[in-house]
Amino acid sequence: MEKYFKKVPPPESDAKADDLPSNLGERKDKRKSSLIDNTDIEDLPSDPGERKDIMEYLSHQRDEVRRKYLTKVPCQPYGHTFKQILKSGSLRRFNPAWFDQYGSWLEYSMSKERAFCLCCYLFKDEIRMQGGSDAFVKEGFNKLQKLRDDGWNLLMDKIASFCKKHNAGMLIMEDDFVNPKNPRKRSNITNMHHYKVNCFCTVLDLQIQEFNDRFTEVTTDLLICMAALSPTDSFYGFDKEKLMRLAKLYPEDFSYGEILSLEQQLDIYIDNIRRDERFKSVENLGDLSCLMVKTQKHIAHPLVYRLLKLVLTLPVATVSVERCFSAMKLVKTAARNRIGDQFLSDCMVCFVEKELLDSVSNEKVIQRF
């Protein structure tokens, strides 16, 4: 064959393959292992400015991380000297009284000197690069206020640069605004007022409204009530009224008579727990439930223990339900709209319990069917 075809030398990439560093594979393995090893959920940072993104944790650890942060007290440094920042021509700073008004979700980072939202951090969408998606998670609340104060000038500079580059005309912002739908009617406002107030600031208000819609009053109230059972700092955040309100939200778990008994049982419970030296070092709800079983206090305070189990289960159950509904959209499509309940349930198991399904070999599936 060499008589008809000219022999081609091997490509340089193959020749230089041996020259690559021998530890290249080790570096990749090291990066992968660092992602797995660097997920110590027992020592989570309390400062919101120092936290890792919730999506950087492994998928099977995210629910545990959410539970850990929900059982902790939000980072609210009351004694901190809050930094003054120049806003709209005057010096302003964070008001610690807001902690009392929004104590269930409002946090403050001493390292970044910014306010954060705990709920946004824990339950943010996995879809990235959405408008305002990280405003309350990574950058803090003051970014929206900074955008309202200084963002308009930056936007105008970019628009002017774009128009100059492409030889496009630009409106004179001091002229009167002309409504294209009714050009003969005077609007009595300038172009500056229309585009800044009616367009620019309106978009920012929509971002804030989206935040309020995501966390409704019921959801916020639920998180407030759950935090009242936290054992941190010798049950400093214990509030009987909030726990009673939490029990009333679940009438199927607590009857009317049990709610009346729970009110008295909570007084006995908190007095008993605070006197017991074994409970002073407890820092989260998971350890509290285990210690209650170990000391037989779950028998002495059965309704409180039932409420504790509800608080431990609720965050994980809520996220699991949302995942099931997301998987249902993938399973039951327009082409399979007549799928039965049993077959739908079987298909849902494959989507939801992916880790369990990976442990099943193909041979077992073939033998089963």
Task: Give the tens place of pLDDT for each residue, 32-62.
Answer: 444 444 446 778 888 888 888 888 888 778 8
The backbone torsions φ and ψ at residue 86, rounded to the nearest 5 degrees and listed phi first, read: -75, 115
Beta-sheet pairing, 85-87 with 114-117: unpaired
pLDDT at 16: 43
Q: Cα–Cα distance between 188 and 190 in angstroms, integer?
A: 7
pLDDT at 29: 46
Q: Cα–Cα distance between 146 and 205 in angstroms, integer?
A: 14
Residue 113 has pLDDT above 80, yes or no: yes
Residue 281 has pLDDT above 80, yes or no: yes
Q: Cα–Cα distance between 269 and 161 in angstroms, integer?
A: 67
Q: Cα–Cα distance between 39 and 72 in angstroms, integer?
A: 18
pLDDT at 199: 86
Share of the chain above pLDDT 90, in %: 7
Say how many residues make up the chain. Answer: 369
Mean pLDDT confidence for 277-290: 86
CA Rg value for the chain: 29
Residue 214 has pLDDT above 70, yes or no: no
Mean pLDDT confidence for 295-322: 80
Calculate the average pLDDT of the chain.
76
Residue 304 has pLDDT above 60, yes or no: yes
CB atoms within 10 A of CB 222: 20
pLDDT at 142: 57
- Which of 130-144, 196-210, 249-263, 332-346 is least confident? 130-144
pLDDT at 215: 62
- Report yes or no: 74 and 92 within 8 Å, Cβ to Cβ: no
Residue type, 338: R
Residue type, 309: K
Instruction: List, in sequence order, every residue forming a beta bridge with 190; answer none if it has no partner.
Output: 176
Q: 125 or 177: whose pLDDT is higher?
A: 177
Q: 23 or 9: whose pLDDT is higher?
A: 9
Q: 308 or 324: whose pLDDT is higher?
A: 308
Residue 14 has pLDDT above 70, yes or no: no
pLDDT at 28: 44
pLDDT tens-digit series, residues 123-167: 765 444 444 445 455 555 556 666 766 778 888 888 889 888 888
Nearest to 196 by CA among 169, 213, 177: 177
Q: Cα–Cα distance between 227 and 291 in angstroms, integer?
A: 19
pLDDT at 355: 77
Helix (H) or strand (E) holding 114: strand 114-117
Nearest to 64 by CA among 32, 36, 42: 42
pLDDT band at 266 (very low <50, low <70, confident <90, very high): very high
pLDDT at 323: 67
3-state secondary structure labels for all residues of 187-236: CCCEHHHHHHHHHHHHHHHHHHHHHHHHCCHHHHHHHHHHHCCCCHHHHC
Residue type, 40: D
pLDDT band at 11 (very low <50, low <70, confident <90, very high): low
Residues in contact with 244: Cβ distance below 8 Å, sequence separation at least 6, in sequence order:
259, 262, 263, 266
CB atoms within 10 A of CB 49: 18
pLDDT band at 317 (very low <50, low <70, confident <90, very high): low
